[in-house]
């Protein structure tokens, strides 16, 4: 999923609009719908590992 403007991810200051979440806790998200990626993140509890791709 892509980071969306005004989302909690964009407001955190470390991720930017246009960044792409490639994996959540090692789970490939490249073919997932946005809502499924959000669910993975929410279900992670207190700790989450994101693999991020930056636009060229």
Is 39 within the bounds of a domain? yes
Taking the model in full, what pTM does it have? 0.76
The predicted pLDDT at position 1 comes to 67
* Average pLDDT of the residues of the chain: 88
Question: Could you give the CA distance from residue 56 to residue 43 in angstroms, rounded to a whole number?
Answer: 30
Q: How many domains does the chain have?
A: 1
- Full domain range(s) for residue 44: 8-53
- Per-residue pLDDT tens over the stretch 5-18: 888 877 888 888 88
User: Do residues 15 and 3 lie in contact, with contact meaning Cβ atoms separated by under 8 Å?
Assistant: yes
Both tokens assigned to 44: 């992670």
> CATH number, domain at 13?
2.30.42.10
Is 2 within the bounds of a domain? no
């Amino acid at each position: 999923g892509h980071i969306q403007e005004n989302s909690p991810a964009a407001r955190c200051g470390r991720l930017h609009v246009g960044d792409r979440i490639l994996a959540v806790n090692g789970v490939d998200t490249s073919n997932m719908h946005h809502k499924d990626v959000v669910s993975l993140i929410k279900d992670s509890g207190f700790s989450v590992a994101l693999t991020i791709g930056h636009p060229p």
